[in-house]
Amino acid sequence: MTIFRKSLITLGLATFVLAAALIISVLVFMNSLYYGTNASRLRDTSLTILSFITEQKVRNFFQAGSEPLNFSGQDLLSDENYFFPETGSPFRLTLINKDGVVCWESLVQEQMVNHLDREEIRSALKGDEGSARRKSISAGMYYLYHALPVFAEDGSVAGVFRLSLAIPGFWQRISSVAVPFLFFAALLVVTAFIFVFIFSRSLSRSLARLVGLVSVDRYAIAVLVCLHRA
């Protein structure tokens, strides 16, 4: 293998590695941007829905001492049908009392485990907004969560108003922009490799001609030396 071919392979590999690093970086950025955008959207939607239902209704629901998944609160939260129609919604609404017991759920109609160990619930029970991202045990899907504290009249936390949004798979999240980007990136890599190949071949031929000229000069000098000695 000549030194020029080795250089060509090295340049080609370097181009491929740099392009791969660029593609991976962009995909990671897209994924991070997806989470950031939807987390902000989820927070705004949580505040909007709570404002629409009114915190007073949710407070009364908690203070009524509802049993776990006691849907007697359906009338109290009748406005929720506006956001969670029977045809389905990308959002889930969950009401958790101050003991971590799930009292109302828009998706899961079964008894759910205590939620006191959930990150966003712990934050809300302290009086702050809480956010988290994980796989739901009850729904079997990955969700973004945002929890809002619901305050009693004495200022204590009566319960938690939590909204969650299902997270599609990685490729589903970025497919709308990833496919065109990957096509462009592949085209860029191929184009860069072709330019590297052409440049390497041109350099190789130029050096080959130079070596040829040097060889001819050496031969001419040798002939002249022999003639001189003769």
CA distances (Å), 61 to each of 54, 117, 124, 160, in order?
11, 22, 17, 11
* Residue 209 included in any domain: no
CA distances (Å), 2 to each of 9, 193, 201, in order?
11, 19, 12
Q: What is the pLDDT of residue 65?
A: 66
From the list 18, 36, 16, the residue with the least C-alpha distance to 28 is 36
Question: What is the domain-level CATH number for residue 142?
Answer: 3.30.450.20
Residue 121 binned pLDDT confidence (cut-offs 50, 70, 90): very high
* Residue 131 included in any domain: yes
* Residue 225 included in any domain: no
Query: Does residue 78 have a pLDDT over 80?
Result: no
Which structural domain range is residue 83 located in? Answer: 54-167
Query: Does residue 193 have a pLDDT over 50?
Result: yes
Q: How many domains does the chain divide into?
A: 1
Q: What is the pLDDT of residues 135-171, one digit of tens each?
A: 887 777 889 999 999 999 888 999 999 999 988 877 7
Which of 66-70, 72-76, 119-123, 181-185 shows the lowest per-residue confidence on average (mean pLDDT)?
Answer: 72-76
* Residue 85 included in any domain: yes
The 10 Å CB-count burial string (b at 16+, else e) for 66-91 is: beebeeebeebbeebeebbeeeeeeb
Cβ neighbours of 1 (radius 10 Å): 6
* Residue 127 included in any domain: yes
